Amino acid sequence: MPDTALITGASSGIGAEFARYHASKGGDVVLTARSEARLKALAAELEAAHGIKAHVFATDLGTGEGVYALVDEITQAGIQIDILINNAGIAPAPNEERFATAVANQMLRLENNVAATTPLNVITDMSDEDWDYMLKVHLYGTFYGSRAAARHMTPQRSGSIINISSVLGLRPTAMAPHYSTAKAAIIALTKSQSQELAPLGVRVNAVCPGYIDTPLLAPMNDLMKVAIVSQIGVGRLGTDDEIAEMVSFIASPKASYCTGEVFSVTGGYSG
Ligand code: NAP
Protein backbone atom coordinates (compact mmCIF):
# COMPACT_ATOMS: atom_id res chain seq x y z
CA MET A 1 0.00 0.00 0.00
CA PRO A 2 1.44 3.49 -0.83
CA ASP A 3 2.67 5.55 2.10
CA THR A 4 0.71 8.23 3.93
CA ALA A 5 2.44 11.63 4.12
CA LEU A 6 1.75 14.35 6.70
CA ILE A 7 2.68 17.71 5.20
CA THR A 8 2.84 20.94 7.18
CA GLY A 9 2.37 24.15 5.21
CA ALA A 10 0.31 22.18 2.70
CA SER A 11 -2.02 25.01 1.72
CA SER A 12 0.44 26.71 -0.65
CA GLY A 13 3.72 26.55 -2.58
CA ILE A 14 6.12 23.67 -2.00
CA GLY A 15 3.90 21.83 0.51
CA ALA A 16 0.86 21.86 -1.79
CA GLU A 17 2.97 20.78 -4.76
CA PHE A 18 4.47 17.86 -2.82
CA ALA A 19 0.94 16.83 -1.76
CA ARG A 20 -0.09 16.83 -5.44
CA TYR A 21 2.97 14.82 -6.38
CA HIS A 22 2.48 12.26 -3.59
CA ALA A 23 -1.24 11.87 -4.33
CA SER A 24 -0.51 11.37 -8.03
CA LYS A 25 1.57 8.33 -7.04
CA GLY A 26 -1.39 6.93 -5.08
CA GLY A 27 -0.31 7.97 -1.58
CA ASP A 28 -2.75 9.31 1.02
CA VAL A 29 -2.00 12.73 2.48
CA VAL A 30 -2.62 14.56 5.73
CA LEU A 31 -2.70 18.29 4.99
CA THR A 32 -2.05 20.92 7.63
CA ALA A 33 -1.65 24.73 7.69
CA ARG A 34 -3.70 27.60 9.15
CA SER A 35 -6.04 28.11 6.21
CA GLU A 36 -8.69 25.41 6.51
CA ALA A 37 -10.51 26.60 3.38
CA ARG A 38 -7.44 26.24 1.15
CA LEU A 39 -6.62 22.83 2.67
CA LYS A 40 -10.16 21.59 2.05
CA ALA A 41 -10.06 22.80 -1.56
CA LEU A 42 -6.75 20.97 -2.12
CA ALA A 43 -8.04 17.82 -0.41
CA ALA A 44 -11.12 17.81 -2.65
CA GLU A 45 -8.91 18.34 -5.74
CA LEU A 46 -6.60 15.45 -4.81
CA GLU A 47 -9.36 13.01 -3.87
CA ALA A 48 -11.20 13.71 -7.13
CA ALA A 49 -8.09 13.52 -9.32
CA HIS A 50 -6.35 10.53 -7.77
CA GLY A 51 -8.89 8.57 -5.69
CA ILE A 52 -6.72 8.86 -2.58
CA LYS A 53 -7.73 9.87 0.97
CA ALA A 54 -6.81 13.45 1.92
CA HIS A 55 -7.26 14.40 5.58
CA VAL A 56 -7.34 18.04 6.70
CA PHE A 57 -6.18 19.32 10.10
CA ALA A 58 -5.93 23.11 10.37
CA THR A 59 -3.55 24.43 13.02
CA ASP A 60 -1.19 27.34 13.73
CA LEU A 61 2.39 26.18 14.24
CA GLY A 62 3.37 29.52 15.71
CA THR A 63 1.48 28.82 18.91
CA GLY A 64 1.62 25.95 21.36
CA GLU A 65 2.76 22.52 20.33
CA GLY A 66 1.05 22.62 16.92
CA VAL A 67 1.99 19.45 15.10
CA TYR A 68 2.83 17.59 18.32
CA ALA A 69 -0.77 17.65 19.47
CA LEU A 70 -1.88 17.15 15.90
CA VAL A 71 0.02 13.89 15.44
CA ASP A 72 -1.72 12.51 18.53
CA GLU A 73 -5.06 13.52 17.06
CA ILE A 74 -4.17 11.97 13.70
CA THR A 75 -2.91 8.68 15.10
CA GLN A 76 -5.90 8.44 17.43
CA ALA A 77 -8.02 8.70 14.28
CA GLY A 78 -6.27 5.48 13.15
CA ILE A 79 -4.06 7.09 10.49
CA GLN A 80 -0.49 5.74 10.23
CA ILE A 81 2.03 8.40 9.22
CA ASP A 82 4.88 7.05 7.08
CA ILE A 83 6.31 10.36 5.89
CA LEU A 84 6.46 13.72 7.68
CA ILE A 85 7.36 16.85 5.73
CA ASN A 86 8.14 19.69 8.16
CA ASN A 87 7.61 22.43 5.60
CA ALA A 88 5.45 25.26 7.02
CA GLY A 89 7.22 28.58 6.92
CA ILE A 90 7.10 32.34 6.69
CA ALA A 91 9.55 34.88 5.30
CA PRO A 92 10.55 38.16 6.91
CA ALA A 93 8.70 41.07 5.33
CA PRO A 94 11.03 42.68 2.78
CA ASN A 95 12.24 46.14 3.76
CA GLU A 96 12.68 48.32 0.65
CA GLU A 97 14.56 51.09 2.47
CA ARG A 98 17.05 48.63 3.95
CA PHE A 99 17.47 46.93 0.59
CA ALA A 100 18.30 50.30 -1.01
CA THR A 101 20.84 50.93 1.76
CA ALA A 102 22.43 47.52 1.16
CA VAL A 103 22.72 48.27 -2.58
CA ALA A 104 24.27 51.68 -1.86
CA ASN A 105 26.68 50.03 0.61
CA GLN A 106 27.68 47.51 -2.05
CA MET A 107 28.52 50.36 -4.44
CA LEU A 108 30.67 51.97 -1.73
CA ARG A 109 32.45 48.66 -1.22
CA LEU A 110 33.20 48.48 -4.93
CA GLU A 111 34.73 51.96 -4.55
CA ASN A 112 36.84 50.58 -1.67
CA ASN A 113 35.07 52.93 0.74
CA VAL A 114 33.66 50.59 3.38
CA ALA A 115 34.07 53.30 6.03
CA ALA A 116 31.26 55.29 4.39
CA THR A 117 28.70 52.48 4.48
CA THR A 118 25.44 52.99 6.41
CA PRO A 119 24.50 50.58 9.24
CA LEU A 120 21.66 48.21 8.28
CA ASN A 121 20.54 47.80 11.93
CA VAL A 122 18.81 44.49 11.26
CA ILE A 123 19.55 42.92 14.66
CA THR A 124 19.38 46.17 16.61
CA ASP A 125 15.89 46.95 15.29
CA MET A 126 14.50 43.44 15.68
CA SER A 127 11.74 42.97 18.26
CA ASP A 128 11.54 40.02 20.63
CA GLU A 129 8.20 39.15 19.02
CA ASP A 130 9.63 38.93 15.49
CA TRP A 131 12.56 36.82 16.66
CA ASP A 132 10.33 34.47 18.70
CA TYR A 133 7.68 34.02 16.04
CA MET A 134 10.22 33.15 13.32
CA LEU A 135 11.82 30.51 15.54
CA LYS A 136 8.46 29.19 16.71
CA VAL A 137 7.06 28.57 13.24
CA HIS A 138 10.24 27.08 11.76
CA LEU A 139 12.38 25.55 14.48
CA TYR A 140 9.82 24.75 17.18
CA GLY A 141 7.35 23.61 14.53
CA THR A 142 9.96 21.20 13.16
CA PHE A 143 10.93 20.07 16.65
CA TYR A 144 7.35 19.36 17.72
CA GLY A 145 6.59 17.58 14.46
CA SER A 146 9.77 15.50 14.59
CA ARG A 147 9.29 14.56 18.25
CA ALA A 148 5.76 13.40 17.61
CA ALA A 149 6.72 11.54 14.45
CA ALA A 150 9.60 9.79 16.19
CA ARG A 151 7.26 8.58 18.90
CA HIS A 152 4.88 7.32 16.25
CA MET A 153 7.39 5.90 13.73
CA THR A 154 9.84 4.21 16.08
CA PRO A 155 7.47 1.36 17.05
CA GLN A 156 6.76 0.89 13.30
CA ARG A 157 10.54 0.65 12.72
CA SER A 158 10.05 2.68 9.55
CA GLY A 159 9.43 6.24 8.45
CA SER A 160 10.91 9.24 6.72
CA ILE A 161 11.09 12.75 8.15
CA ILE A 162 12.05 15.55 5.78
CA ASN A 163 12.76 19.00 7.16
CA ILE A 164 12.57 21.94 4.76
CA SER A 165 15.47 24.21 5.66
CA SER A 166 16.88 26.79 3.21
CA VAL A 167 20.01 27.83 1.41
CA LEU A 168 20.04 30.57 4.06
CA GLY A 169 20.51 27.88 6.71
CA LEU A 170 23.77 27.04 4.96
CA ARG A 171 24.74 30.60 3.98
CA PRO A 172 23.04 33.02 6.41
CA THR A 173 22.12 36.49 5.25
CA ALA A 174 22.51 39.70 7.25
CA MET A 175 19.02 40.68 6.10
CA ALA A 176 17.27 37.83 7.96
CA PRO A 177 19.20 36.65 11.04
CA HIS A 178 16.13 35.05 12.67
CA TYR A 179 15.18 33.12 9.50
CA SER A 180 18.79 32.09 8.84
CA THR A 181 19.25 30.97 12.45
CA ALA A 182 16.04 28.93 12.46
CA LYS A 183 16.95 27.24 9.17
CA ALA A 184 20.52 26.47 10.32
CA ALA A 185 19.20 25.02 13.58
CA ILE A 186 16.85 22.79 11.58
CA ILE A 187 19.90 21.31 9.85
CA ALA A 188 21.54 20.57 13.21
CA LEU A 189 18.30 19.01 14.50
CA THR A 190 18.08 16.89 11.34
CA LYS A 191 21.60 15.51 11.77
CA SER A 192 21.19 14.92 15.49
CA GLN A 193 17.84 13.16 15.22
CA SER A 194 18.97 11.06 12.24
CA GLN A 195 21.71 9.51 14.35
CA GLU A 196 19.26 8.45 17.03
CA LEU A 197 16.63 7.10 14.62
CA ALA A 198 18.72 5.46 11.88
CA PRO A 199 19.08 2.14 13.75
CA LEU A 200 15.31 2.17 14.28
CA GLY A 201 14.49 2.33 10.58
CA VAL A 202 13.49 6.00 10.53
CA ARG A 203 15.36 8.31 8.15
CA VAL A 204 15.68 12.07 8.78
CA ASN A 205 16.92 14.42 6.06
CA ALA A 206 16.88 18.12 5.25
CA VAL A 207 16.23 19.91 1.97
CA CYS A 208 17.63 23.39 1.39
CA PRO A 209 15.76 25.14 -1.40
CA GLY A 210 17.31 28.18 -3.02
CA TYR A 211 14.95 30.96 -4.14
CA ILE A 212 11.72 29.33 -5.31
CA ASP A 213 8.87 31.12 -7.09
CA THR A 214 6.09 30.60 -4.53
CA PRO A 215 3.79 33.03 -2.65
CA LEU A 216 6.56 33.29 -0.04
CA LEU A 217 8.50 35.59 -2.38
CA ALA A 218 5.46 37.61 -3.49
CA PRO A 219 6.16 40.59 -1.17
CA MET A 220 9.57 41.18 -2.82
CA ASN A 221 9.68 43.95 -5.41
CA ASP A 222 11.05 43.38 -8.92
CA LEU A 223 14.45 44.91 -8.13
CA MET A 224 14.94 42.53 -5.19
CA LYS A 225 14.10 39.58 -7.42
CA VAL A 226 16.51 40.77 -10.13
CA ALA A 227 19.24 41.11 -7.50
CA ILE A 228 18.60 37.54 -6.36
CA VAL A 229 18.38 36.05 -9.86
CA SER A 230 21.69 37.72 -10.76
CA GLN A 231 23.28 35.39 -8.19
CA ILE A 232 21.60 32.21 -9.47
CA GLY A 233 23.74 30.23 -11.90
CA VAL A 234 20.85 29.01 -14.06
CA GLY A 235 19.46 32.56 -14.26
CA ARG A 236 15.97 32.06 -12.87
CA LEU A 237 14.02 31.30 -9.69
CA GLY A 238 13.27 27.64 -8.96
CA THR A 239 9.78 26.13 -9.17
CA ASP A 240 7.84 24.32 -6.47
CA ASP A 241 7.75 21.11 -8.52
CA GLU A 242 11.56 21.09 -8.68
CA ILE A 243 11.60 20.93 -4.87
CA ALA A 244 8.73 18.42 -4.74
CA GLU A 245 10.73 16.08 -7.02
CA MET A 246 13.67 16.11 -4.61
CA VAL A 247 11.44 15.65 -1.55
CA SER A 248 9.67 12.73 -3.26
CA PHE A 249 12.97 11.02 -3.99
CA ILE A 250 14.14 11.39 -0.38
CA ALA A 251 10.80 10.17 0.95
CA SER A 252 10.87 7.08 -1.26
CA PRO A 253 12.62 3.75 -0.65
CA LYS A 254 14.99 4.74 -3.49
CA ALA A 255 16.72 6.92 -0.88
CA SER A 256 17.05 4.06 1.64
CA TYR A 257 20.75 4.86 2.25
CA CYS A 258 20.16 8.58 2.78
CA THR A 259 19.79 9.80 6.34
CA GLY A 260 21.24 12.81 8.15
CA GLU A 261 21.83 14.32 4.71
CA VAL A 262 21.33 17.89 3.56
CA PHE A 263 20.14 18.23 -0.04
CA SER A 264 20.53 21.65 -1.67
CA VAL A 265 18.36 22.59 -4.64
CA THR A 266 19.47 26.11 -5.55
CA GLY A 267 20.10 26.37 -9.31
CA GLY A 268 23.70 27.24 -8.48
CA TYR A 269 22.97 30.14 -6.10
CA SER A 270 26.23 31.83 -5.15
CA GLY A 271 25.02 34.65 -2.89
P1 NAP B 1 4.37 29.47 0.88
O2 NAP B 1 3.84 29.20 -0.47
O3 NAP B 1 4.16 30.80 1.49
O4 NAP B 1 3.80 28.34 1.86
C5 NAP B 1 4.03 28.39 3.26
C6 NAP B 1 3.10 27.41 3.93
O7 NAP B 1 3.32 27.46 5.35
C8 NAP B 1 1.63 27.74 3.69
O9 NAP B 1 0.91 26.54 3.49
C10 NAP B 1 1.20 28.40 5.00
O11 NAP B 1 -0.17 28.17 5.17
C12 NAP B 1 2.07 27.64 6.01
N13 NAP B 1 2.25 28.38 7.26
C14 NAP B 1 2.85 29.59 7.42
N15 NAP B 1 2.80 29.96 8.71
C16 NAP B 1 2.18 28.96 9.39
C17 NAP B 1 1.82 28.78 10.75
N18 NAP B 1 2.07 29.69 11.69
N19 NAP B 1 1.18 27.62 11.09
C20 NAP B 1 0.90 26.69 10.16
N21 NAP B 1 1.21 26.81 8.85
C22 NAP B 1 1.84 27.94 8.47
O23 NAP B 1 5.95 29.23 0.93
P24 NAP B 1 6.90 28.08 0.33
O25 NAP B 1 7.89 28.77 -0.50
O26 NAP B 1 6.13 26.95 -0.22
O27 NAP B 1 7.65 27.65 1.67
C28 NAP B 1 7.67 26.32 2.17
C29 NAP B 1 8.94 26.12 2.97
O30 NAP B 1 10.07 26.27 2.10
C31 NAP B 1 9.13 27.13 4.10
O32 NAP B 1 9.63 26.48 5.25
C33 NAP B 1 10.18 28.09 3.54
O34 NAP B 1 10.92 28.71 4.57
C35 NAP B 1 10.99 27.12 2.72
N36 NAP B 1 11.80 27.79 1.71
C37 NAP B 1 11.20 28.50 0.71
C38 NAP B 1 12.00 29.16 -0.21
C39 NAP B 1 11.41 30.00 -1.31
O40 NAP B 1 12.16 30.73 -1.97
N41 NAP B 1 10.12 29.93 -1.60
C42 NAP B 1 13.39 29.08 -0.11
C43 NAP B 1 13.96 28.32 0.89
C44 NAP B 1 13.15 27.68 1.81
P45 NAP B 1 -1.23 29.10 5.94
O46 NAP B 1 -0.92 30.52 5.56
O47 NAP B 1 -2.54 28.59 5.48
O48 NAP B 1 -0.98 28.81 7.39
> Which residue, 242, 237, 238, 241, is CA-closest to 227?
237
Looking at the CA of residue 136, tell me the nearest atom of ligand 1.
18
Helix axes 13-24, 36-50, angle to 10 degrees: 20
Q: Which residue puts its alpha carbon closest to atom 12 of ligand 1?
A: 9
The whole-number pLDDT of residue 64 equals 66
- Which portions of the chain are predicted below pLDDT 70? 1-2, 64-66
Q: Which residue puts its alpha carbon closest to atom 9 of ligand 1?
A: 9
Query: With contact defined as beta carbons under 8 Å apart, do 10 and 39 qualify?
Result: yes
**Which residues belong to the active site?**
179
pTM above 0.95, yes or no: yes
The whole-number pLDDT of residue 77 equals 81
How many whole angstroms from 174 Cα to the centroid of ligand 1? 21
- Over residues 191-245, the pLDDT tens digits come to 999 999 999 999 999 999 999 999 999 999 999 999 999 999 999 999 999 999 9
CA-to-CA distance for 90 and 267, rounded, in angstroms? 21
Q: How many CB atoms lie within 10 A of CB 235?
A: 9
Question: Cα-flanking dihedrals φ and ψ of residue 126, to 5°?
Answer: -80, 135
The whole-number pLDDT of residue 70 equals 79
The whole-number pLDDT of residue 197 equals 98
Going by C-beta distance under 8 Å and a sequence separation of 6 or more, which residues neighbour residue 262?
Answer: 165, 170, 187, 190, 191, 205, 206, 207, 208
Give the single-character DSSP code of 214: S
